[in-house]
Amino acid sequence: MGVEYEGSNFCGWQTQHEGVRTVQTILEQAVSKVANHPVTIIAAGRTDTGVHAAAQVIHFDTIATRSSHSWIFGCNANLPPDVAVLWARPVDKSFHARFSAIVRHYRYIIFNRRIRSAIKHRRMTWYCHPLTASKMREAGGYLIGEHNFSSFRATACQAKSPIRNVYRLEVTQQVDCIIIDISANGFLHHMVRNIAGVLMTIGKGDQPPYWAAEVLQAQCRSLGGITAPPDGLYLLGVDYPDRFNLPRFSAPAVIW
């Protein structure tokens, strides 16, 4: 299934103790009702508290036989307004939402205006200091390619290797919004938010663009500056090998 959610009122993706609202818990309850048996869901990526998804991908095993229409509309009838199933289709047993993924796409949106927005609250990261997108764009170029991203991983990150391959990192500006689009074979815990924090520091003028390369080469999280807030972070999509015949990633022009 492809799933969309607005993460502001969730304590992240992963199921926790009873009484904690998470996306996984809500989805498992809805899917289990449609399947008429308990279901455990696996996701392409576990998003943090406050992080959104435009196209999370999940899989589950079921003995139930339902049409795609029944899975989609049945689940949505049992989901709250801030979660929606977008598509559903069967896959063979070799598919795994996390381990079969070959590219993940994220977007970080910064609302760069002196006055905060009431409408865009919790859907973008508000930053009141002027940012220079061209400097952020130049800095992002140093992070493209296969590198050791230890400087950009959370101290609690459990990944066995800090090596990741960033295929694309683009910084664009649309009126008061600065948008960071980043695609990679995988991401470490807080990696996108830490990259955004470094780029914002550079965009403000506190560091030159080459500082991004220095932080990367240091392989030390303490030199990487702030972890940007979760509000502006979106999982945009996940790519899989063609043999699974799943919807291809297509970046929306704007999210807010």
* Boundary-marking domain end, from 53, 79, 99: 99
Residue 24's H or E segment, with its range, is helix 23-35
Answer yes or no: is 108 a known binding residue.
no
Q: How many CA atoms lie within 13 A of 75 on its CB side?
A: 25
| Structural domain containing residue 112 | 104-236
* Same structural domain, 119 and 221: yes
Task: Provide the percentage of residues in the chain whose pLDDT is more than 70.
Answer: 97
pLDDT band at 64 (very low <50, low <70, confident <90, very high): very high
* Boundary-marking domain end, from 70, 99, 128: 99
Residue 48: how many CB atoms within 10 A of its CB? Answer: 17
Instruction: Note whether residue 150 is domain-resident.
Output: yes
Q: Which residues are known to be catalytic? A: 48
Distance of alpha carbon 116 from alpha carbon 99, whole angstroms = 39
Answer yes or no: is pLDDT of 121 > 90: no
* Same structural domain, 92 and 119: no
Q: How many CA atoms lie within 13 A of 145 on its CB side?
A: 7
Q: Are 157 and 189 in contact (CB under 8 A)?
A: yes
Quote the pTM value. Answer: 0.94
| Overall domain count for the chain | 2
* Same structural domain, 167 and 44: no
188-217 confidence digits (pLDDT tens): 999 999 999 999 999 999 999 999 999 999
Residue 216's H or E segment, with its range, is helix 211-218
* Boundary-marking domain end, from 76, 99, 122: 99
* Same structural domain, 82 and 170: no
